[in-house]
Amino acid sequence: MFIVESYGLAVLFCIVTMLCWGSWANTQKLVQREWRFELFYWDYVLGIFLLALIGAFTMGSTGESGRPFLADLAQAEGENIRSALIGGVVFNLANILLTAAIAGAGMAVAFPVGIGLALVIGVLINYLMHAKGDPVFLFLGVGLVTLAIILNAVAYGKHSGGTGKKGVGKWIGVSVIAGVLMSTFYPFIAAGMDLENFVSPAAGKMTPYTAFVVFAGGIVLSNLLFNTILMRKPLEGTPSNYGEYFRGRFGVHLVGVFGGCIWGVGNLFNLIAAGKAGPAISYGLGQGATLVAALWGVLIWKEFKGGSRSVNALVAAMFVLFVVGLGLVIAAGE
């Protein structure tokens, strides 16, 4: 299987993760006027699972190092499989809430609050589990990201208050819950892998490719419950049904699948990089997606359009703090 051998390449893979995780939500924005987020989410989950399988049977099954996907899956212990499955369930609940917040408040708010919070808590959890990297740089970077999250929430509150938009507290609250849940999924999937040796993984442990497929299976299975409940009892708007989903245009379905594939590429690259960079740094850099998503929201979707000088200043300060904070996270692994 393909294995990352250098820290520089691991950082590059994490940057790809950051771009993918920060960009997939654009696919939802493209169709949200005619397609509820609950319906979009079915296709999105399908895209994640398809990408996981493609990665497993290509990058995860070629080369001389490591175990090929099918052989690795066959020898994986039940405890490690369950851990990755649970990670998929936890991630899916968090991501459904995040997707709802994106639909309600926009990318420039849901990502900095939700994923920014996930970055902060997730880095701490992953570092405690696998201490790798300079703790001073790592935690200083996390502190700056925390301040950036606070500034973004303040900016959104001021901007929404000025435009008369309702539900400010609701969507920030949903984003916070999503962020707390999102911060806990990565240790579950990491626990099922041998992070110290991808070349000759320990017996019973999984390679990143196999762990991703099992993780994606957990997403698919849990979605049958979580998304069905949300369709019947939505956070906003009227209930929807499966009939609406199957009546959707092929092009709209394809956009959702593509969004899932984008996120899946990011997750695959992040897991591959974790062996060299360590889970705390690879996860922290990947969740720099917050910055990418905020840029999409501000520059392309104009989610802070018409904001006052103070709002614009807060948004600008948020970007600066995110950039510096992520730079320190990168430096922590040198």
* pLDDT for res 9: 93
Res. 69: pLDDT tops 90: yes
DSSP secondary structure of 276-309: HH-HHHHHHHHTTHHHHHHHIIIIIS-TTTT--H
Predicted local confidence at residue 163, as pLDDT: 54
**b/e 9-35 (16+ beta carbons within 10 angstroms → b):** ebbebbbbbbbbbbbbbbbbbbbeeeb
* Assigned token pair, 250: 């092929």
From the number of C-beta atoms within 10 Å of its C-beta (0-12, 13-18, 19+), residue 259 rates as buried
In this prediction, residue 161 carries a pLDDT of: 63
Phi, psi of 223 (to 5 degrees): -65, -30
What is the rounded average pLDDT of the residues 290-305?
82
Matching residue, tokens 């997730």 = 122
pLDDT-derived band of residue 166, with 50, 70 and 90 as boundaries? Answer: low
Comparing 56 with 154, the larger pLDDT belongs to: 56
Q: Using one digit for the tens of pLDDT, what is the confidence trace for 207-259?
A: 999 999 999 999 999 999 999 999 999 988 899 999 999 999 999 999 999 99
Q: What's the pLDDT score for residue 132?
A: 76
